[in-house]
Chain A
Amino acid sequence: MSLRILPTGLLIAALVSALAVVYSSHVVRGLYSKQQSVEYRQWELQEDYSRLLLEHSTLASPHRVVSIAQDDLAMVSPQLSIHRVVQPQSRRQR
Chain B
Amino acid sequence: MSRSKKTVAKPALWRLVFVASCLFVLFGLLVSRLVILQVVDQDRGARFLQQQGAMRSVRTAEIPAYRGLVTDRRGQPLAVSTPVVSIWANPQQLKDPAQIAGLAMTLGQTPEALSERINLYSDKQFMYLARHQTPDQARSILDLELPGVRGEREYRRFYPAGEVVSQLVGLTNVDGEGIAGIELAFNEWLRGQTGKKRYLKDLHGDAIRNIGVIKQPRSGKALALSIDLRLQYLQHRVLQRAMVETGATAGAAVTLDARTGEILAMTNHPVFNPNSRGGFDYAATRNRVVTDVFEPGSTMKPLTLVAALESGEFTIDSLVDTSPGRIRVGRKVLPDPRNYGEITVSRVIEKSSQVGVTKIAQQLGHESILDVFQRFGLGEPSSIGFPGERSGVLPNRQRWSDIEKVTLAFGYGLTATPLQIAHAYAVFANKGSQVPLTLLKRSDSELVPGRQVISGEIAEQVLKVLNRVTGSEGTAQKARVEGFQVGGKTGTVHKVGEAGYLDDQYVALFVGVAPIEDPRFVTAIVVDQPKGDNYGGGAAAAPIYSAITDGVLRLHNALPAREDDPPQFVGLGGGA
Task: State whether the Cβ of B569 lies closer than 8 Å to any Cβ in chain A.
Answer: yes
Q: How far is the CB of A40 from chain B (nearest CB, A)?
A: 10
Task: State whether the Cβ of B339 lies closer than 8 Å to any Cβ in chain A.
Answer: no
In the bound complex, do residue A32 and residue B210 qualify as a contact, i.e. CB atoms below 8 Å apart? yes
Q: Which residues of A contact B482 (CB under 8 A)?
A: 80
In the bound complex, do residue B576 and residue A58 qualify as a contact, i.e. CB atoms below 8 Å apart? no
Task: State whether the Cβ of A87 lies closer than 8 Å to any Cβ in chain B.
Answer: yes
- Given A43-B83, A47-B82, A51-B82: A86 touches B161 (CB 8 Å cut-off): no
- Given A46-B66, A62-B233, A89-B571: A54 touches B82 (CB 8 Å cut-off): yes
Q: Which residues of A contact B230 (CB under 8 A)?
A: 62
Q: Which residues of A contact B82 (CB under 8 A)?
A: 47, 50-51, 54
In the bound complex, do residue B161 and residue A32 qualify as a contact, i.e. CB atoms below 8 Å apart? no
Q: How far is the CB of A54 from chain B (nearest CB, A)?
A: 6
Q: Which residues of A contact B76 (CB under 8 A)?
A: 57, 60
Task: State whether the Cβ of B97 lies closer than 8 Å to any Cβ in chain A.
Answer: no
Interface residues in A49-94 by Cβ distance below 8 A to B read 50-51, 53-54, 57-58, 60-63, 66, 80-81, 83-89, 93-94
In the bound complex, do residue A85 and residue B234 qualify as a contact, i.e. CB atoms below 8 Å apart? no
* Chain A contact surface mostly: helix
- Distance in angstroms between the alpha carbons of A90 and B568 in the assembled complex: 19
- Distance in angstroms between the alpha carbons of A63 and B234 in the assembled complex: 9
- Distance in angstroms between the alpha carbons of A41 and B417 in the assembled complex: 49
Interface residues in B76-113 by Cβ distance below 8 A to A read 76-77, 80-83
Q: Which residues of A contact B568 (CB under 8 A)?
A: 84-85
Stretch at the interface among B48-56, B304-312, B437-445, B558-566: B558-566
User: Please, what's the 1-or-0 string for A25-53, where 1 marks a CB less than 8 Å from any CB in chain B?
Assistant: 00000001001100000010011001101
Task: State whether the Cβ of B160 lies closer than 8 Å to any Cβ in chain A.
Answer: yes
Counting residue pairs across A and B whose Cβ atoms lie within 8 Å, the total is: 76
Interface residues in B202-250 by Cβ distance below 8 A to A read 209-210, 229-230, 233-234, 237
In the bound complex, do residue A54 and residue B158 qualify as a contact, i.e. CB atoms below 8 Å apart? yes
In the bound complex, do residue A54 and residue B81 qualify as a contact, i.e. CB atoms below 8 Å apart? no
- Distance in angstroms between the alpha carbons of A22 and B384 in the assembled complex: 60
Q: Which residues of A contact B160 (CB under 8 A)?
A: 53-54, 57-58, 61
Interface residues in B479-515 by Cβ distance below 8 A to A read 482-483
In the bound complex, do residue A80 and residue B573 qualify as a contact, i.e. CB atoms below 8 Å apart? no
- Given A32-B210, A53-B77, A63-B233: A89 touches B483 (CB 8 Å cut-off): no
Interface residues in B112-169 by Cβ distance below 8 A to A read 135, 153, 158, 160-161, 164
Q: Which residues of A contact B12 (CB under 8 A)?
A: none
Q: Which residues of A contact B19 (CB under 8 A)?
A: none
Q: Which residues of B contact A60 (CB under 8 A)?
A: 76
Q: Which residues of B contact A54 (CB under 8 A)?
A: 77, 80, 82, 158, 160
- Distance in angstroms between the alpha carbons of A61 and B160 in the assembled complex: 8
Q: Which residues of A contact B153 (CB under 8 A)?
A: 43
Q: How far is the CB of B194 from chain A (nearest CB, A)?
A: 15
Q: Which residues of A contact B573 (CB under 8 A)?
A: 89, 94
In the bound complex, do residue A87 and residue B569 qualify as a contact, i.e. CB atoms below 8 Å apart? yes
List the interface of chain B (C-beta within 8 A of A). Answer: 66, 76-77, 80-83, 135, 153, 158, 160-161, 164, 209-210, 229-230, 233-234, 237, 482-483, 559-560, 562, 565, 567-573, 576
Can you list the 8 inter-chain pairs with the closest CB atoms, starting with the nearest? A57-B160, A62-B233, A50-B82, A80-B483, A85-B567, A47-B83, A84-B570, A80-B482
Q: What are 28 of the A-B contact pairs (CB < 8 Å)?
A: A32-B209, A43-B83, A46-B66, A50-B82, A50-B158, A53-B160, A54-B82, A54-B158, A54-B160, A57-B76, A57-B80, A57-B161, A60-B76, A61-B161, A62-B233, A63-B164, A66-B237, A80-B482, A80-B483, A80-B567, A81-B565, A84-B567, A84-B568, A85-B567, A85-B569, A86-B569, A86-B572, A94-B573
